Each structure stands twice: as structure tokens, then as C-alpha cells.
Amino acid sequence: MGFLRFFAVMALGAVCAEASMGLDSSHFLFSGRWDHTSSFSRTSAPAAMVQFNAVASSLDFELEGHARWRVDQDGKQLAIFVTDGKSVEHVKVAGDGKTHLYRLIKISESNPGGVILHGISTDKKGKLMDAPKFTNRRIEFIGDSFTVGYGCEGNVADQEDHVFETTNSSKSYAFLLADGFKADFQINAFSGRGLVRNYDNIVPEWKIPRLYNYTAPGFAPGDVTKTSDESSLLWNFDSFHPQVVVMFVGINDFQGNPPYGDKQEFKKAYAKMINDLRSKHPGVKFLLVSTKIWPNDDLTPTVKSVYDAEIAQGHQDLEFLEVHTTNEGLHGHPTERSQVDLANTIRPIVGRLGKWMSR
């Protein structure tokens, strides 16, 4: 379970002559963590994506679960729709007899929960072409709501709970960076979660280090109660080896109502995650990101001390960056503009770490 680019989703059937599913992996390219079975694929990752080439007048997406989705044609947004129960979403596309690149992107967060992809198909005269291919670039983002793109389409003055409507992971700095570098990517980010303490101590048993180990973390709290073999739910780290990991974690450890996370425990957890990733991905480079937080501004000096300790130990595979954001989105989160600024600030360092300066 959990292998990228393995596709095992059922066809839609007679409604479309050109079905695109089955066990045929030659048509589809996945980004993000997907859990593939013999009858469907599921995910909870922000900006989880499927790409494919097709000649078509329309596309049908058979999906299940509460989510917002974006469909692109040749890199340009074509449609946004919402799913809840199991349904087939019909999207009109070019219909010009030419091959176009399509992307289905999950732009909402599933925390907890997730979505299931049952099928994709073209119109009767349509045809799927060979799957697109990534450049040899791979990047991973580990973070919280800032990395998810939480509320980036909202406003800080909004008193309503419009998280679902205003979160757009395809406008997060993480997606913008991966897309700009044409890199395969994972965004493993969880709103309200920290390394040693979650925001306001919500669901304390499910912090980032535990969630991070699962293929579909949004499903994990329910899954672990239904199986005696928890190992079957865990992500296979050999299936995706990032060259660069951007870590932007810790906001929730030191915000909300006190007591806050213990700084020494935080440092230990942060250093452990770095070392675990080094062992899983030999040669990987790290960018440790921090920002000013309220009320005590404890995050930046604490992360910087982790960085300094790594350098003192002789590690030369990481850099540190403090960023400044305009948090005028929903619930005091970065806006769309601020997410773009974040991407522009981080891009040169990621390019240098990955040796991707030429795009």
C-alpha cells in the first residue's frame, strides 16, 4: 500500500467508452501520498494530485468524500467543484481533437478524514494518452496550517467558520514552489498540529510525528481501531525519496492557550525528525523555516538553536530561514498574496539546495 504511481482504480463502466482505470498505470501520474487498493485510491494529503494526458471533450471524475477539487487543463484552472458523498463530477474540456495535460488537485484539507478516487474517464470519443513525466526533482514539505494554505482565500475579519470554503492548497507556497520547479512533491501538513503539543492541546495523541508515519493520516485515527496490523497503514518511505525537505513546523507548539510546548522536548523532537529523515533519504537537504508568533515569539530562537546544534555537529545539509508573513487571511493566516511572497522568498534557497537553479 502507498506506492506512488501505482494505479488500481476501477473503471466507470458503460457511461464512457474510454475508461481510464483498471490496473493500467501507463496513463496516470500521482503526487502526494496515495493509498492504492485493488478497487480504489484514497488520500488525505493537501494538494494530492493526479495528472494525465487526454484527447477529450469531457471528463468524468468518480469521487467520494467531503472535499474541494480543482481541475486544470495545460496548467490553467478549468473548474472547481465540491464533493461529499459518492458522485460523478462531469467537466467539459477542450474538445479540439488535440492532446492536453489535465490535473485533478485536492485543494481542501482532510484533518481528519479523506477522499476516495473511484475512477476517471473521458467521453465516448475521447482517448487517454501516455502518462506525463516529472523532471528528476522531488521535494517534500512538512508543516501545519501555513503550509496547507488554510484560509488563504478568506479574510481575518471574517467571523464565520469558512475554513472549508477558503482553504486552497493549490495556492499554498508549497504547491507553488513544487509546481514552479516542475518537481514531484509531497505536502505532509496538518492544521493545528505540532511536534510536542497541538494547538490548545487538541487531540494530544495525534501530533505531527505520529501522523507523519501514515499513508493517509486523515484516515489513520479511525483505521487503527479497525485493524490488528497497523503496519499495513504505514507509509513506505522507499517509494519517494525527496532531494529537499522544507520543514515549517512548531507554530502550534507555542500558540493558543498555555501551557505551551516544552522547548527542550521540542528541540529533541525536531532533531529526531531531521535524523530520521536523513536515514530514510541519504543525501537529502533541509530548509528549516520559522516565523514570528504570538504571544512569546518562542519559535524562531528555538528552531534556530536546533539549526545551530546541527551545524556544530558538523552537518552541512541544512539551512535556516525566518520568514515574515502578512497574516490577513482567515483566522490570522497568510493570504494568497502572502503565500506567493513566501514561495518567492523560499525559492532561491530550495533551488540552491536541490541544485535546481535552472528551471
Q: What is the CA radius of gyration of the chain?
A: 20
Pairwise CA distance, residues 113 & 66, whole Å:
8
| Residue after which a domain boundary falls, among 96, 128, 160 | 128
Residues 178 and 288 in one domain: yes
Query: Residue 38 sits in a domain of what CATH number?
Result: 2.60.120.260
> For residue 74, is it left (φ>0), alpha (ψ between -120 and 50) or beta?
left
Domain range for 198 is 138-354
> For residue 220, is it left (φ>0), alpha (ψ between -120 and 50) or beta?
alpha
CA 252, distance to chain mean position in Å, is 18
Residues 308 and 168 in one domain: yes
The burial of 350, by beta-carbon neighbours within 10 Å (0-12 exposed, 13-18 middle, 19 or more buried), is given as buried
Residues 74 and 196 in one domain: no
Residues 155 and 302 in one domain: yes
Length of the chain: 359
Pairwise CA distance, residues 8 & 244, whole Å:
29
What would the pLDDT profile of 125-135 be if each residue is shown by its tens digit?
999 999 999 88
Residues 310 and 166 in one domain: yes
The verdict on residue 133 lying in a domain is no
Residues 185 and 227 in one domain: yes
Residues 297 and 154 in one domain: yes
In 44-167 the beta strands, taken as DSSP E runs, fall at 49-55, 58-64, 67-73, 76-83, 87-92, 100-106, 115-122, 127-128, 138-143
Pairwise CA distance, residues 35 & 6, whole Å:
9
Number of domains the chain is built from: 2
Residues 195 and 54 in one domain: no
The verdict on residue 226 lying in a domain is yes
> pLDDT tens digits for the chain (359 residues)?
333 333 333 333 333 334 444 435 689 999 999 998 888 999 999 999 999 999 999 999 999 999 999 999 999 999 999 999 999 999 999 999 999 999 999 999 998 999 999 999 999 999 999 999 988 999 999 999 999 999 999 999 887 889 999 999 999 999 999 999 999 999 999 999 999 999 999 999 999 999 999 999 999 999 999 987 889 899 999 999 999 999 999 999 999 999 999 999 999 999 999 999 999 999 999 999 999 999 999 999 999 999 999 999 999 999 999 999 999 999 999 999 999 999 999 999 999 999 998 54
The verdict on residue 257 lying in a domain is yes
| Residue after which a domain boundary falls, among 128, 156, 181 | 128
Let me know: does 256 contact 199? Beta carbons within 8 Å: yes
- Please state, in angstroms and as integers, the Cα–Cα distance from residue 187 to each residue in 17, 47, 140, 230, 267, following that order: 34, 7, 6, 23, 22
The verdict on residue 21 lying in a domain is no
Residues 296 and 266 in one domain: yes
Please tell me the pTM assigned to this model.
Answer: 0.93
Taking Cα atoms as reference points, which of 107, 273, 138 lies closest to residue 194?
273
Residues 226 and 338 in one domain: yes
Residues 240 and 281 in one domain: yes
Pairwise CA distance, residues 112 & 17, whole Å:
36
